[in-house]
Copies of this chain bind each other. A is one copy, B any other.
Amino acid sequence: MAKKDITAGLTVKKEDDMPEWYSQVVLKSELAEYSTVKGCMIIRPYGYAIWQKIMDYFNKRLEKLEVSNAYFPMFIPESFFKKEAEHAKGFSPEVAWIQNKDEDKKERLALRPTSETIIYDSYSRWIRSWRDLPLRMNQWCNIVRWEVSDVKLFLRSREFLWQEGHCVYETKKECDKETLMILDEYRKLAENLLAVPVLTGKKTDKEKFAGALYTTTIEAFMPDGKAIQLGTSHNLGQGFGKAFGIKYRGKDEKYNTPWQNSWGFSTRLIGALVMLHSDDKGLVLPPSIAPTQVVIVPILFDKTKQKVMKKAKELKSKLKAFSVKLDDRDEYSPGWKFNEWELKGIPVRIEIGPKDIENKQVVLVRRDNGEKQAVKITQVNKKVKDILDNMQKSLFKKAKKFLDENILPANNWNEFISIIKARKIAKANFCGEVGCENHIKDKTVGATSRCIDVEKKGKCIHCEKESKFLVYFSKNY
């Protein structure tokens, strides 16, 4: 019986060496691969199928929210960058440049690290009147940030895929409202589709987007004790509008600068999904996002092969409500197939052999807890649906419990330090000052704020000055 090297199973345990385990899960389940090109990754078909499901889900939401997709150039002239000073300062270390080859124009062009500037140049021509507002646009594209050379698959690479929404409103009120509405869409995507529970809230000044009035974020917590930012929605205020000369004539016939927001999530979502749910057998995919929800593995013996294959095909055609794969390969044994599909995280495996047919039953095996049950063929549709529903809920519940248990209140600096050292999330009073947060980061070797829970007066955990907020702190990706 031939074996592919790639499916030889994981050689480390999740709790023993999380980074190596994670890398093996992603590589061996064939979600993605390291590229020969330094700092880059390849999204393989299985990984891209997950991204496609995320895109399909979110495109439907965008349609509801009256956000249209468009596509803007990936090249951004250096002069555009410089128009919004904070933005330029924030992004310039990460920008990759190409030299414009035209002789008549020597300006450098950036490969987009984010598209506010190139898009708002167009908005300054498209927006004339209150009738043009709200303007709601999104693009799906590749992004280049030259920050790192060590790739963490899906989590950190010089090129990645994302969506970026860019909306324009007449008033701050509308802009605030929809900035938070998008944040809630992100929360629902993470929690309902990916079974990844998140903290939501505003970022502190230190952590906000370069050029924003304020940034809101969804943050998940990983089993290695590090948080990960999974999506941000920024109220950009009027800064970009002023820098790019965007003006609209109001109902009052006066010219005003509009309010803008921008918001994005990336293929990084897939990384969090994988790290949170998967186990020592490989990938575990929540049924809602699994490209294949059910795999049928027929148990074939020479004598009964034809009969079993016929039943297996019938079974597949019965399960139309789900995405089902029938593994009819001759050259692999059932046991080998079980391992492969476990490694690939298919939520439900159905085994069907000659004895099962005699008993008019099949055997269902659930991926996350290994539960096995014999089920009458007449009941199989209902049972599969139950298992998928339960598994989706159970993965979320388990992850939510993990998140909740890892949040600990820090009432003083010593407690704060020991929570951070234990790789948990400290919930603490914080003054909100950038300088103070820099000190906290230095003294804790890397703990930064995740987001603001609520506004609350008290005494800052670090500087002991009057605090403004209750804030989540932890190590992060």
Q: A residues near B, CB below 8 A?
A: 2, 4-5, 33, 35-38, 40-45, 47-49, 51-52, 68-77, 80, 96-102, 105, 109, 111, 118, 121-122, 125, 128-129, 131, 137, 141-142, 144, 146, 149, 158-159, 161, 331
Checking B42, B105, B121 against A70 with a beta-carbon cut-off of 8 angstroms, the contacting residue is B42
Query: Is there an interface contact between B97 and A71, defined as CB atoms closer than 8 Å?
Result: no
Task: Give the complex CA separation of A271 and B360 in angstroms.
Answer: 58
Query: Is there an interface contact between B71 and A37, defined as CB atoms closer than 8 Å?
Result: no
Query: Is there an interface contact between B128 and A42, defined as CB atoms closer than 8 Å?
Result: no
Copies of this polypeptide in the complex:
2
Query: Is there an interface contact between B33 and A48, defined as CB atoms closer than 8 Å?
Result: no
Interfacial chain B residues near A71, Cβ < 8 Å:
42-43, 48, 51, 161
Query: Is there an interface contact between B70 and A37, defined as CB atoms closer than 8 Å?
Result: no
Q: Interface centre among A36, A52, A102, A128, by most B CB within 10 Å?
A: A36
Closest 9 CB pairs of A and B: A45-B68, A40-B73, A43-B71, A37-B73, A98-B98, A48-B69, A45-B70, A37-B75, A35-B73
In the complex, the chain B residue whose C-beta lies closest to that of A41 is: B73
Task: Give the complex CA separation of A80 and B4 in angstroms.
Answer: 27
Query: Is there an interface contact between A159 and B75, defined as CB atoms closer than 8 Å?
Result: yes
Interfacial chain B residues near A2, Cβ < 8 Å:
129, 131
Query: Is there an interface contact between A122 and B42, defined as CB atoms closer than 8 Å?
Result: yes
Query: Is there an interface contact between B96 and A42, defined as CB atoms closer than 8 Å?
Result: no
Query: Is there an interface contact between A38 and B72, defined as CB atoms closer than 8 Å?
Result: no
Task: Give the complex CA separation of A109 and B36 in angstroms.
Answer: 12
Interfacial chain B residues near A111, Cβ < 8 Å:
98, 111
- Apart from A75-B158, A98-B111, list 15 A-B contacts with CB within 8 A: A4-B128, A33-B122, A35-B73, A36-B77, A36-B80, A37-B76, A38-B100, A42-B70, A42-B122, A45-B70, A49-B69, A73-B159, A96-B98, A97-B98, A142-B142
In the complex, the chain B residue whose C-beta lies closest to that of A71 is: B43
Task: Give the complex CA separation of A212 and B241 in angstroms.
Answer: 49
Task: Give the complex CA separation of A118 and B159 in angstroms.
Answer: 14
Known: A96-B98, A98-B111, A128-B4. A105 touches B42 (CB 8 A): no
Task: Give the complex CA separation of A312 and B95 in angstroms.
Answer: 52
Checking B48, B52, B74 against A142 with a beta-carbon cut-off of 8 angstroms, the contacting residue is B74
Query: Is there an interface contact between A102 and B38, defined as CB atoms closer than 8 Å?
Result: yes
Checking B37, B72, B97, B149 against A42 with a beta-carbon cut-off of 8 angstroms, the contacting residue is B72
Interfacial chain B residues near A96, Cβ < 8 Å:
98, 101
A-B contact pairs, 23 of them (CB 8 A): A4-B128, A4-B129, A5-B128, A35-B122, A36-B121, A37-B73, A37-B118, A41-B73, A42-B71, A42-B72, A42-B122, A43-B71, A43-B72, A45-B137, A48-B69, A48-B71, A49-B69, A73-B159, A74-B142, A74-B144, A96-B101, A102-B149, A142-B142
Task: Give the complex CA separation of A33 and B125 in angstroms.
Answer: 11
